[in-house]
Every structure is written in structure tokens, then in C-alpha cells.
A and B are shown apart, each in its own frame.
Chain A
Amino acid sequence: MFKKYKNQDLDMAFWWKKNTKTSSDYVKLISDQLSKISNSSTVDTKRKAQEECSKYLMGLKHFILSDTDPKPSAEAIDELYMAMHQSDLFYDLILHFNDLEFEARKEVMLIFSICLGYSKDNKFVTVDYFVSQPKTINLMLSTIEMALQRKSSPQDIFLVIGNMIIECIKYEQLCRIVLKDPQLWKFFEFSRLSNFEIGTISLQILSNAFTVHPKLVSREFFSAEANTEKFIASINKLIAYGSYVTKRQSTKLLASLIIIRSNNQLMNLYINSPDNLKLIMTLMTDKSKNLQMEAFNVFKVMVANPRKTKPVFDILAKNRDKLLKYFETFGIDNQDTNFLDERDFIIQQIDSLPRIISSTTDGNKGVNNTIASSSPPSNSVLGVQQQQSQH
């Protein structure tokens, strides 16, 4: 029976259906093909091994989905999971991911997510296995980076492994492994890559890693100040230099993180820095209404903070009139009552800031120059009004 698989003319569907008695064979067959792929000396033998591998993966998928006739017994399924774990099948597959065929990689992804979701006696057996053998998750995080080196279609591998990482993140224990892996920081860089698929899924991975299990993140990630500092520096870079989409998504992520009560380490560090305030205020003047709104969701926390640091306070006070002017038209067509309440509160807070002016001589020059340089009317009005209100 066992030798037969080397026969290329064999009808696989027929073969699998005949061989339901030892499910662990699937695992062995795939492992064998994987080592063949790496040891093959010619293109032909390698391609054959790749094709074989694809077939066996499909067979394994049918088995694990009970799409076979007859359906596999519960014992056979258990045996299969055990064999996969014992042989570190997923580790092996990820290691050879580059050499798998396009469709085969997707089979791996599907099998992977089915395995993660499989529970026996209220235990997620594959999740538990990865917790004891985190090397597979770590390998996924580094393999995805290697995909970028591919000359053609790097996004093919990147997307598949990226989706697998997102699957992992759904499980708290696996999310912990992801958060602890220094490789995670690289995803901030990947988020800025111009390849749309790669950039977008990288930011989704980050977003999932930091938001799906908020308690885990605040307890074990932001509890370390070094992490928080690095996180702020990294996300600021996305907000400052990202593409339109990256800016929107990263600001949204930041806003959603700093309002979580348990993330107060992150919030305190973020809202107390004048540089962050400047970045967010700059974003508020972006032409995009969506970006303005995302920025406001960060800005409001900074303004609402009852214990502002001196530099933050100074910037707000100095721009008091400009901010009031800004909020006269900000979100004017937004009907959301929550938003309107928040905006009113923020306006109140700004209104109660002390008034500060620049020295009169400077101010006069400012007005002259503004008019001289044929600026848009709205802004010269702003400038003039400001001067008037100060005198």
C-alpha cells in the first residue's frame, strides 16, 4: 500500500478513499514530499514533488473536513491531529512555503484555520500545541518578510501568511506569541510599502494584534514603557508619512487604542507630548474630512486631559483662537449626537484656555504679510479677527 504513492499515474481520489485506516499517513506523505522538494536536483523532480505535495494537501483537507467517503472516524481525526503535531507539519510547510504551488499554499491556509478552530474536550488542541511549540508562529512572522524578496508577486505569499497570522491572533494565547515577537515591529515598516495588498494587510495584522484582546495588550504589552515608546514612534511615522489609506487606518487604530481605559500607559505617554499634539493638529488641517475626523478622535483626548503638561498646554493656549475658529466649521454636517456632545465639550475646554498674544509689532507685520501674499480670504479673515480680538 505505502509504496504505491510513487506511482504517478495513480488516481488520487481513488487512493485516498481506499486508505482511510491510518490517517497519520497523510502527514508522512506530505513531509516526505517536502524533503524531496528541498533535496531535488533537477527542476523536473522538484516540480513533480510540488505537484504531489499539492495533491496530498488537498487530500488532507478533504479528510479533515470529513469530505471523504466514507467519512473518517473520530479516532482517525484525533490520530491525524496528533501526527501533525508530532511531526511539526505546519513548521515544515511554512519552511517550504516558497516552494509550494499557489493553490497548495491556500490549502495550507485553510487546513491551518480549520485546525486552530478544532476543539476536543473543550480544548483547542492545535492552539495548545502552538503554545508549547511557538517556533511555528515565529517562523510565520519571519517568512512573511522573506516573501518581500521575491521578484514576482511577493504579495501572493504575503497575503496567505498574513491571513494565517490574523487567524492566530484570534486566539489570545497565540496573540501573546505574536506580541512578544520583535518581528512585529517590522509590520509598521511593511505598512508603508507601496504594494497595496502588502501595506494594507500589514496594518490589518497590527490592528488585530493590538485590538482583538485589549486586556492582554494593556497587561503584557503597554505595561513595558519601552514598548509603549516604540509603539508611539512607529505609529506616528505611519500617521506622518503613510499614504492616504495608511494615515486613515493608523490614526483610527491609535484613536481606538488610547480611549481604552486599561491602556492608560499608552494614553498618558501619548497625550503628554507636544510633538504628538503638533502631529495630530497638523492632521486636523488636512484637506480630507475623514482624516480630520480620525485626528479629532485623538485630539479630543489630549484636550480633555485634566492634567496637561506645560508644553501641551502652551500649544493649545497659543492656538486658542485659531482652534475656536476651526471648530466653528468642523464636523458641521455630522449629525451624530455623541460626536456633537464631544465637540461641544472640546470647544468649552478650548474656550476656557487663557488668551495669549504675540507682541504687537510682530502681529502687525503678520497681518501685512498675510494680505500681501494674496492668501485665501478665509485665512486673512482669521488673521484679522484674531488681531482684533487681541486688541
Chain B
Amino acid sequence: MNNSNIYNILPPSSLFDIKECVGRGNFGDVYKAIDNITKKYVAIKVINLEYSDEDIDLLAQEIFFLAELKSDYIINYITTIMEDVSMWIVMDYCGGGSCSDLIKIVYPNGIVEEKVSFIVKNVLLGLQYLHEQKKIHRDIKAANILLTDDGQVKLGDFGVSGQIKATLKRDTFVGTPYWMAPEVINKEINNGYDEKVDIWSLGITTYELLKGVPPLSKYDPVKVMTSLVKRKPPKLHGPYNDFTKSFISFCLIKDPKLRPNVQNLLKTDFIFKFNGKIKNLQKDVDLCKKIKNKENGNFIKKPKFPINEKFYNTNDRKEPKEIWDFNTIHSMKSIKNNSSLISPTSDLHSLKQLSPISNSSQLQNASSTDQQFTKVQTITPLTVNSKSFKKVRVLTARAQYELGSGMDIDTDSQRKEQKNNCDRIEDVTDYNGSNKRENVDYFKNVICYSLKRMNERANDEDTKNFVNAILYNFKLTEAQVPGFSEVFMEEILLRMETIQNYFSNKV
């Protein structure tokens, strides 16, 4: 976590080496990646916010929730970064997959009691951490119990987890049917629920780990859910220790007030009798990986959204960035209706609105840092008295996406199209002199002036000569291409502004 500032300085693509896609969900794709700073494997959940219906505030809540968890028994959250229109949630990588994978791939008939006890103890320790802070996981099941490469158990997937705050009760209907506690389904009981719902789900999960499936799994989930309130709690049958059976029935006490808490469960024989016999599930994880590789190559999944396709492509100049006409109405004529509305006086009015000197009222109050904003908002259309240059229309709010923009020189004599950089400059209107409002001679007052100063600052004759050569070239060019200096200066300023914005965003 100490490095977390670094994650915000560099672009995400240089921070992480994306390997394969290891998971796919409605929310987005999960990638295995290498953190280039720590050289560790991480899991990155990539959520495309433009194409998914995920509510940003809810996602942020989930992230804030994760950021507050620091425990050995819970999957560690590293950071979240925005890349293009996607949210990258970076977490520790659990290379061993989930306990559900372990069942499916290695132990379809269930895992032995000893190992289940180890898994459940670790889940209890994770829950102890959560419940102490009045947080509920709300979706405990084998699929959300993750295993690291070295066979350690971590609680994962906090997608529906919640904080019980002042009311100390929740009433949102979340979870997965077979694992849900009766009080989640029937809100009338107890009016709302608390952290005890996790204990019920843990009981079901213990059953699932031992048997390979949760109780009543052959029935329709909705029916199981609706009948849960009426029927007796499920029971574990078969060749298991009595303390294992009683652990499950202990968890599956229907009245949440009578149901034990984490501390009680940690003291049961089921946890106690096997305690310390197993240190990790490394062998099982290795076995699981081996079978996975044999069965279907690398378990690589096809992502829902290709990660390399950017929504805002900085090189993509084909997209018209600006289609509106925000020019002064000066050279415009009204054809028919309301011609009285557009009188010379109103022309003046709208002119004033556009000039950089007359900031509109709400902008005048802005502090000095607002300058860049006012600049962009009230930028004057270029006053070039030349047919040689296109007017830059795209002084839009999106300047930060335009770090790659260039200049399009289009002279009368020869057509020097500098690539398609300026395709975004659409329906360009050349300017006639009548529009000129400011009498700054950019060649004389800016270029000549600055180069003269450079000449004075030059240390030796050679340098002075180079400066003079530049000045001479400018003079020639300006004579050939009137307005060259102005466009040149404008491009410099635009670029500087973009860079400034870029850095002010990064600070």
C-alpha cells in the first residue's frame, strides 16, 4: 500500500503487464497481471463503465469497502485506477482458484473433514475481522473462498457486502439462494438482519465443501428459498464425525439471536480437534492446476471487452470533436423569421460574450486557478487575416484527450497535408479581414520581439546567427503565408495549455 501513490502517477498500462483473462462476468473481465513495481502477480477486475450499466456510485462503495480491509484472511485490495473509460480494480492474485473450483476439478464428491475444518477456520478468522467492524460479507459460499498459489485461504468477492451502520440492521435482499439465511428472505423475522447471516451461509458452505453441493441443490433455487422459512434447517447426514454434524446444525439455527457468533464457532470441536494438523492446501492447489492445464490448456477465457481497444483513442482524429458553430454571429444573416431579433446591437452583444476580455459574470469570481477554464470557455475565434490557415475550432473541454494533436498547413500554392491530424477541424470557414478585432501583429510583436531578445541573450556569434536565420525564415514565411506567426503562436499556446492541464490533473 505504501506504493499506492505511484499508481496514480504513471499510466496503468505501464504499471501492469497484463497476462491472460482468467474470469468473465457481467460486471467485466478479470485479468492476471504482473505488477511492475512489486513484480508480484495481481488480479485486475476491469469494468468498462461506458458499456456496462454498473452504477458508478455503487462500484465506488464496493471499492471503499475493500480499501478498509486489511487482514491475512481476506483478499488484499491494492488500488483502483481509471484507464480510458474502464475502472481497474487491482487485488492480490489467488492463483489457486476458489474452493468451488477445487470441488469441481479435484473433489466432486466433497473434501475430507480435516481440510474442510482448515478452510472453515480461516473463513471464520476472516469473518471475525469483518464482524468486529460490523461489516457483513453476505455472500459466503465455496465459490467466494479463494486459494493462493501456496494454498492459503482468503475470503473474496465483496460485491454485495455491506456495512451495518447506525441502524445496525440491513434489509437489502442479496446473496445466492441456496446459501441465504432465512431472515434475509423473510424480512418480517427480526425486521432486518445482521452479521449472523454470514454464519448461516457458512453452515451451508461447510455442507457444500463436505458433500460437493449445497443442501437441496437438486431443487429449484427459488423454491428452496421460499420454503426455507417454513421448513426445518438442512442437516448433514453420512459418515462424518458428530462434532462436524453438530457444527453445521449449530450454524443453521433459524433464529439469528440463538445462532452462535464467530467467537463461539472458533471454540467448537470441529475447529479445535483438527486444529494445526493442516498448514495449507498447497498440494490440493497444485493438483487442481495440473488437472486444469490438462483439460483445457491454460484456462484462458475470452474477455468480454478487448482490453487493448480504447474508447477514446488519442490517435483517432476521424471523430468530429466539434460540430457546433460557436462563432460570433457577426457575419451571419437571418433569412426570414425574427430578423428584427438579430439587430446590429445584438451582434455587438454576442461579440462581447465571445471576446476573452469580457468574462461572463460567474467566471469573473473565479480564482486565479480558474484562468485556464475561462480561457477555454471564452477563446476568441482566430483573427487570422489569411486564407492559408484553417481556424482551430476545437478549443473544447476535451483538450486533455488531444495530447497528440498537430497543425494542418494548407497553403494556396502547395498542399502540405501533414497527415490527417486535423480532420477534426470540420466545416472550416476562412476568415475575412472584417472580423479582425484585435490588432496584435503576431509576427512583429511576438516572434520578432522574442527572437530579438534571444539574440541579445545569445552568448556567442554563432548562436546569434542561428537566431537571425530563424527570424529571417519567419519573415520570409510570413510574407508568403500571412498569418503563419499567429497560427504558430496559437498552436504553441494550445499545446502549453494541454500540457499544463495534463499536469494539473496529475498532481
Contacts and interface: CB of A to CB of B under 8 A. Distances in A.
A114 B166 CA distance: 4
B363 A313 contact: no
Given A278-B377, A359-B332, A310 B167 contact: no
Return the 10 tightest CB-CB contacts between A and B, nearest first: A117-B166, A240-B397, A354-B337, A354-B338, A229-B362, A196-B80, A152-B2, A369-B428, A194-B8, A200-B60
Interface in A217-255: 226, 229-230, 232-233, 236-237, 239-241, 243-245, 248-249
Given A244-B49, A359-B331, A319 B325 contact: yes
Given A114-B165, A194-B506, 20 more contacts: A65-B168, A107-B133, A113-B165, A163-B64, A195-B4, A200-B56, A229-B362, A236-B373, A237-B370, A248-B49, A269-B362, A278-B324, A282-B398, A285-B323, A314-B342, A318-B329, A355-B336, A356-B335, A358-B332, A366-B429
A319 B333 contact: no
Interface in B427-470: 427-430, 432
Interface in A248-301: 248-249, 269, 273-275, 278-279, 281-283, 285-290
Contacts of A23: none
A110 interface: yes
A339 interface: no
Contact of A233 (B57, B168, B365): B365
A315 B377 CA distance: 14
Interface in A70-121: 102-103, 106-107, 110, 113-114, 116-118
Given A155-B4, A163-B64, A357 B335 contact: yes
Given A197-B63, A354-B338, A322 B324 contact: yes
B121 to A, nearest CB: 21
Interface stretch (A45-53, A340-348, A371-379): A371-379
B363 to A, nearest CB: 6
Interface string B471-493: 00000000000000000000000
Given A117-B166, A355-B335, A310 B361 contact: no
Nearest to A387: B427
B373 A192 contact: no
A327 to B, nearest CB: 12
A294 to B, nearest CB: 11
Contact of A315 (B64, B326, B336, B507): B326
B5 A358 contact: no
A288 B312 CA distance: 9
Contacts of A282: 322, 324, 396-398
B349 A310 contact: yes
Interface in B310-338: 311-312, 318-327, 329, 331-338
Contacts of A359: 331-333
Contact of A379 (B324, B377, B426): B426
Contacts of B166: 113-114, 116-118, 167
B378 interface: yes
A362 B350 CA distance: 20
B365 A230 contact: yes
Given A359-B333, A376-B318, A241 B397 contact: yes
A160 interface: yes
Given A155-B67, A232-B362, A282-B322, A354 B336 contact: yes
A151 B373 contact: no
A249 B87 CA distance: 14
Interface string B83-117: 01101000000000000000000000000000000
B258 interface: no
B362 A273 contact: yes
Contacts of B226: none
B324 A281 contact: yes
Contacts of A378: 320
A318 B2 contact: no
A275 B332 contact: no
B427 A366 contact: yes
A44 B377 CA distance: 56
B398 A369 contact: no
Interface residues of B, number: 91
B398 A354 contact: no
Looking at chain B's contact residues, the main secondary structure is loop
Contact of A314 (B50, B167, B350, B417): B350
Contacts of A116: 166
Interface in B1-23: 1-2, 4-5, 8-9
Interface in A305-328: 310-311, 313-315, 317-319, 322, 326
B220 interface: no
B390 interface: yes
Nearest to B166: A117
29 contacts: A152-B2, A153-B1, A153-B4, A195-B4, A230-B362, A233-B370, A237-B373, A240-B376, A240-B377, A244-B50, A244-B85, A274-B350, A278-B324, A287-B311, A287-B319, A317-B338, A318-B325, A319-B325, A322-B325, A357-B333, A359-B331, A366-B427, A369-B427, A369-B428, A370-B428, A374-B423, A375-B426, A376-B423, A378-B320
B386 interface: no
B222 interface: no
B346 A383 contact: no
Interface residues on A, range: 35 or more
Contacts of B50: 244, 288-290
B134 interface: yes
Contact of A197 (B80, B311, B365, B429): B80
A370 B134 contact: no
A282 B326 CA distance: 10
A201 interface: yes
A236 B376 CA distance: 12
A156 B70 CA distance: 11
A106 B398 CA distance: 39
B427 A243 contact: no
Contact of B428 (A156, A192, A373): A373
B383 to A, nearest CB: 15
A225 B239 CA distance: 77
A237 B397 CA distance: 9
A275 B358 CA distance: 12
A154 B56 CA distance: 22
B397 A197 contact: no
Interface in B407-429: 408, 410, 417, 420, 422-423, 425-429
Contacts of A275: 353, 360, 363, 377-378
Contact of A243 (B321, B341, B417, B505): B505
Nearest to A154: B5
A322 B334 contact: no
Given A318-B325, A354-B334, A379-B320, A373 B422 contact: yes
A382 interface: yes
A282 B372 CA distance: 17
B400 interface: yes
B430 to A, nearest CB: 5
B350 A279 contact: no
Given A65-B168, A197-B63, A314-B350, A279 B329 contact: no
A167 B165 contact: yes
Given A355-B336, A366-B428, A204 B60 contact: yes
A160 B163 CA distance: 13
A195 B370 CA distance: 21
A159 interface: yes
A365 interface: yes
B287 to A, nearest CB: 37
